[in-house]
C-alpha cells in the first residue's frame, strides 16, 4: 500500500473515531472522559481541552496505524475474524488502562466496544479492498 493511501485512511479513521468519542462523552454513553488520561499521566494536564482532544486524536492515530499494520500482515485471513479479534483486544486494553481491572465492565461498555468493532471492521475491509482490488489489478 502506498504511503499516501495509508496516511489518508488512518487520518480519516482517526478523525471519525475521535468525533465519535466526543459524541459518546457529551451524551454520557461512556462513564469515563476520553481526555482524562492527560491528567493521570501528567501530560499537558493544564492545557486547553482542545489541545487534549488533539493529543487524544494523535494517540488514536497511532493505535489505528498499528492496527492497520497488523491487518496488512494478516490480509489473507478473513477480514471479519481479524477485525473482531483486534477490536476485542483494543477494547480490553482500553478498559484495563482506564480502570486497572475489569470490574467496571457493564452495559456502559457496549457503545465503545461497538464503535471499536465498527472501526476495526472498516479498517480491515479497506486493507482487504486495497490489497485485492487496487494493487492486484496493477500487478497483472
Task: Encode the chain (140 residues) as per-residue pLDDT tens digits.
Answer: 678 888 999 999 999 999 999 999 999 998 888 888 888 788 888 899 999 999 999 999 999 999 999 999 998 889 999 999 999 999 988 888 877 776 767 777 899 999 999 999 999 999 988 888 776 656 55
Distance CA 99, CA 113 (A): 15
Q: 3-state DSSP helix/strand/coil percent for the chain, to nearest 5? A: 75, 0, 25
Output the CA angle 54-55-57, nearest 5 degrees.
Answer: 65
Q: For the whole prediction, is pTM greater than 0.75?
A: yes
Query: Chain centroid to CA 65: how far?
Result: 9
128 backbone dihedrals φ, ψ, rounded to 5°: -60, -45
pLDDT at site 5: 86
Amino acid at each position: 500500500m502506498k504511503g499516501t493511501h495509508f496516511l489518508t485512511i488512518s487520518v480519516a479513521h482517526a478523525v471519525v473515531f475521535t468525533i465519535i468519542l466526543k459524541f459518546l462523552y457529551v451524551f454520557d454513553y461512556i462513564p469515563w472522559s476520553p481526555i482524562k488520561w492527560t491528567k493521570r499521566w501528567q501530560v499537558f494536564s493544564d492545557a486547553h481541552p482542545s489541545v487534549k482532544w488533539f493529543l487524544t486524536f494523535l494517540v488514536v492515530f497511532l493505535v489505528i496505524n498499528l492496527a492497520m499494520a497488523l491487518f496488512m500482515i494478516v490480509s489473507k485471513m478473513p477480514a471479519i475474524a481479524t477485525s473482531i479479534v483486534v477490536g476485542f483486544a483494543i477494547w480490553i486494553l482500553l478498559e484495563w488502562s482506564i480502570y486497572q481491572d475489569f470490574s467496571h465492565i457493564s452495559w456502559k461498555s457496549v457503545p465503545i466496544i461497538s464503535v471499536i468493532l465498527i472501526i476495526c471492521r472498516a479498517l480491515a475491509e479497506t486493507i482487504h479492498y486495497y490489497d485485492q482490488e487496487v494493487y492486484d489489478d496493477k500487478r497483472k
